[in-house]
Each structure stands twice: as structure tokens, then as C-alpha cells.
Amino acid sequence: MEIPFVKLQGNGNDFILIDETKGNVIPDEMKGQFAKLYCDRRFGIGGDGVLFISSSEKADIKMRLFQPDESEAEMCGNGIRCLVKYAYDMKYIKEECSVETLAGILLVEAGYHSEDEFFAVIDMGRVKYDRPEIPAKGEGEYIEEIEGFTVYAVNTGVPHAVVFVENLDEFDICSVAPKIRYHETFLEGANVNFVSVTGDSEIKIRTYERGVEDETFSCGTGSTASAVVSFKTGKTGDKVLVNTVGGPLTIYISKSGAKMEGSAETVFSGFIPL
């Protein structure tokens, strides 16, 4: 038996995709173990997570994401773009579609600007500011001092902490981020984004991801969270260019929520022999 897979990346955030539109390929109880094994960059394929695409009774397609620590994530902005690219290329969807995730049903516009330049605009839905929805201890919007840093937190599909710093390039995020990621006030932990404002409509970010437990090249939900907090604190306008380590994303902020625009690429495909 062989398991077909496709490797995709969005801004350097890379994923293994398993197509389950015709039925389960990996049993549900083994999906976490599968992600841990094959996300390993030395003994597996390598990736920040494993995407499973399947049919949905509520939307056009369904996305599940399992991470290297075997946990299942509610949503992933770069992951959903990769999933949508695969679905679009396979003709499972058209230019406008809906994707079922654990964070809800998200609306997507997708296509190609040119022969090889894929894009997707994801309606990220309502941004959650109140602590119970993040989730975090206490009431009201989240602004706390942790380890000497002012920390803002929102939920853009998954919980995110946002910290503004002056010199992002020389900042050692892997020594600071775990103290915030595992802070007792975050009931399910949090992804941690360190942000520097580089213009009226531009920011630069680095993200430490829960589940990966390391810095990743890019995070779509983290870019959205960072842009929203930058706008809410008056540091930028409502259209924000977010420069991640892996490339740019554009975030559009409105009263109803936020949209994220970015690209995705197919890296290679193959078979896992069993």
C-alpha cells in the first residue's frame, strides 16, 4: 500500500497534504501520530503540519490540521491557502468557495493572477477580543504585563499574543516566547507574535507557533492578529502589509472582521510506502 501526499507551502509555512475526499486514508485516532512522524525534517517528509482535506456537509470542503506535537489546530491561515490551492488545482472548488474548519466556516476567493501566481483571499471572520473567547483568564480585552512585556491577545481562529518590540532582527524570540505561550492566563496556550511597526500601513513580524513549539517562517492567523492589534492601537491603518520571514501578506480590517490575502505553492508530490 502507498499513501499519496502533496507538499505545499505558504510564505515558507509548509504542510503535507493528504486527500481524504474519497474516504479516510489515515484513521482519525492515528492522525496525530502520523503528523508527528512525517513532519520530522530528518526522518520524515518535513513540515509544520499535516493537512487533511475531505468532503463536508456544511461547506464545499473541510480542513483538518494536525501538528508535530500530535495536537489538532482549530485553523491556520497559511494552511488554508495551501489547502485551497490544492482543491482549486484538483477542480474540487471554483473561484469562490467555503471551507469548514474547527474555527467555523470560512469564505474564500481564489485563482491565478498569472500562469504560476496563485492567490487566495480568506475571510478570517470575526476577531475575538474578550478573554473568555481567546480563551484567557479574567474578563474584558486582554492586555497584560508578562516578563516585562506588554502583551495583547486576540483570537483570529486560534489564540494569539502580540508583543511590540523595537529591534525585531536581533530579538531572541525562542527564549522569550515560551514564557508567554505557556503563561497561566492562557487556558489553551497561545501563539506569540513579536511585531515592529515599519510604516503607516506596514509591520514586520516573527511568530512562535503553539504546536510546532518553535519559530515558523510565517503564520496567517498570527499576521491577522498582529495587523488587527496594530490597527486597534492606532499604529497602522485598516489595510496592513505584514512582512513575515517567509514573505508578505496583506490584511484588510473592517467592522465585521478581517480578510487575509496571500499566495501558496505546490512544492512536490510523492508516495509514502507502507
Neighbours of 14 (CB within 10 A): 25
193 marked ligand binding residue: no
64 marked ligand binding residue: no
210 marked ligand binding residue: yes
Active site residues: 76, 219
148 marked ligand binding residue: no
How many separate helices (H) and strands (E) can be counted in the chain?
A: 4, 18
191 marked ligand binding residue: yes
155 marked ligand binding residue: no
Q: Which of 60, 72, 155 is nearest to 108 (CA)?
A: 60
Q: Helix 220-232 to helix 77-89 angle, to the nearest 10 degrees?
A: 130
46 marked ligand binding residue: no
234 marked ligand binding residue: no
Asked if 266 contacts 85 with a C-beta cutoff of 8 angstroms, the reply is yes
209 marked ligand binding residue: yes
The CA R_g of the chain, rounded to the nearest whole Å, is 18
Distances (CA, A) of 122 to 77, 128, 148, 186, 222: 8, 17, 34, 26, 14
Q: Which residues define the annotated binding site?
A: 13, 67, 77-78, 191, 209-210, 220-221
Q: Which residues define the annotated binding site for substrate?
A: 13, 67, 77-78, 191, 209-210, 220-221
